[in-house]
Structure 1
Amino acid sequence: MATGNARGIVLLAHGSRDERWREPIEAVAARVTALDPQARVVCAYMELAAPDLRTAAAALIASGAKALRVVPLFLGMGKHAREDLPLQVEALRQAWPQVDFQLAGIVGEEPELVDLLARIASKS
């Protein structure tokens, strides 16, 4: 992570005990870094894996991030995205009022992802 950058991105996924489950999440993080080398990108998980959102945010803030975008890598609007995540982001805002926290929409509702999934599903 570069020390001069003030922007961090947390890619938040559900989590799993299976280490292989993290590979696609980490691949997204690597791709974000390739697309935006100035961004500080970390993965975090709601449960069953570490780090959690608070720990990931704390690491980015400790490294100098002044703004954090939390991107939920969920396909649908379940309980975590609808109830748990807004509460966690609000707790982060309370803990670090000097940091600008942005909660992105869940990726599964992005038209580009819906289109991509449809194209993948319709391949012959």
Structure 2
Amino acid sequence: MTLSTTNRSVGVSSLGRSDGVLLVGHGTRDTVGTDQFFQLGKLLADRLSPVPVEACLLELQPPTIAEGWQRLVDRGAKAVHAVPLLLFAAGHAKSDIPDELAKCQLTTPHVRWDQSQPLSRAAELIALSLRRIDEAIRQSNLDSRSSALVMVGRGSHDPCAQADMRVLTECVARRWCFKVRQTAFYAMATPKLPETLDRIAESGEVSDILVQPHILFEGSIHQSILGIVAQARQRYPEIRFWCSGYLGPEPELVDALIRRIQQAIAVSVV
């Protein structure tokens, strides 16, 4: 299969001298995951230069949203474009982040702000997921026609976020002729990954199961997913289990973020 290339025409023409971009991550205690987040922030800053970009984190570690906001203001920003590095719209995107941004504006009322939508099913994100699956297929030499694809998300109590993950699986899986395709969740939603792997393995339909962790960076969730797959491999030695890479700080993510910023600006000026 030939993967579509990322659209490098995504540009920055909507941003001006008084604009600033605030990249908001969730935050993690994992040092590798933290470094990867700031690597992505550097990639975004390089692409948007000379527009100032500050990376901040919602929880667990600094810099906070308030600190990132103030840095942009100190750099001359009069309009802050907040771009949450979130895969789906749930509580953080709908309330936690906008609540923090509203508090920031109280301290600098001359600065306006908008917030872009989560990445969701952005074309660039789908392209990156396909690239990760392609890499795994090439490494494992599996035949998709006798294999299962399991896309596993972090999980959320928000039913819209759950549905969005299921639709994303269909968008990705239909590019391949996998015999079985299934969405699973690490937590907060069903079906969970262990029971999904058990059900597929016990069906006798496939020779291989490929798991794609639909997560952004390294961290405890990724390690737990690897552990769950390793346990399934021990329970079902007749099945070959594989894991693709997580998304990671890649140019496709940068393109998707820039597209979301431009969409938010277009809505705010209507």
Q: TM class, shorter-chain normalised? A: 0.7 to 0.9
CA drift at 1:74: 0.9
2:117 to 105, 108, 116: 105
Q: Give 5+ residue unaligned stretches, structure 2.
A: 1-16, 138-270
| Corresponding pairs, count | 120
SS in 2 for 1:107: coil
Match of residue 63 from structure 2: 51
Q: Which amino acid is the alignment partner of residue 106 of structure 1?
A: P
2:80 pairs with 1:60:
no
CA drift at 1:78: 2.5
Q: Is the 8 A contact 2:24 2:58 kept in 1?
A: yes
Higher relative contact order (Cα pairs below 8 Å, separated by 6+ residues): 1
SS in 2 for 1:28: helix
2:81 to 56, 66, 69: 69
Residues 66-112 of structure 1, C-alpha deviation per residue, up to 9 Å, x if partnerless? 11111100112222112211212222233322112110111234232
Q: Which amino acid is the alignment partner of residue 33 of structure 1?
A: A
CA drift at 1:27: 1.8
Q: Is the 8 A contact 1:13 1:45 kept in 2?
A: yes
Q: Is the 8 A contact 1:71 1:103 kept in 2?
A: yes
Q: Residues 108, 24 of structure 1: CA spacing in aligned structure 2 closer, same or farther, 3 A cutoff? A: farther
Q: Percent identity?
A: 24
Superposition CA RMSD, Å: 1.8
What's the TM-score once normalised by structure 2's chain length? 0.41
User: Hey, what's the Cα distance between the residues in 1 that align with 2:91 and 2:103?
Assistant: 17
Q: Which amino acid is the alignment partner of residue 113 of structure 2?
A: F
2:36 pairs with 1:13:
no
Q: Is the 8 A contact 2:89 2:117 kept in 1?
A: no
Q: Is the 8 A contact 2:52 2:75 kept in 1?
A: no
Spell out structure 1 runs of 4+ moving beyond 4 A: none
User: Hey, what's the Cα distance between the residues in 1 that align with 2:96 and 2:78?
Assistant: 23
Instruction: Give the greater-gyration-radius structure (CA).
Output: 2
User: Hey, what's the Cα distance between the residues in 1 that align with 2:36 and 2:51?
Assistant: 19
Q: Residues 96, 20 of structure 1: CA spacing in aligned structure 2 closer, same or farther, 3 A cutoff? A: same
SS in 2 for 1:59: helix
1:40 to 49, 52, 56: 52
What's the TM-score once normalised by structure 1's chain length? 0.83
Q: Is the 8 A contact 1:73 1:108 kept in 2?
A: no
User: Hey, what's the Cα distance between the residues in 2 that align with 1:18 and 1:120?
Assistant: 22
Q: Which amino acid is the alignment partner of residue 95 of structure 2?
A: E
User: Hey, what's the Cα distance between the residues in 2 that align with 1:92 and 1:27?
Assistant: 25
User: Hey, what's the Cα distance between the residues in 1 that align with 2:130 and 2:90?
Assistant: 21
Match of residue 31 from structure 1: 43
Q: Residues 66, 76 of structure 1: CA spacing in aligned structure 2 closer, same or farther, 3 A cutoff? A: same
Match of residue 96 from structure 1: 108
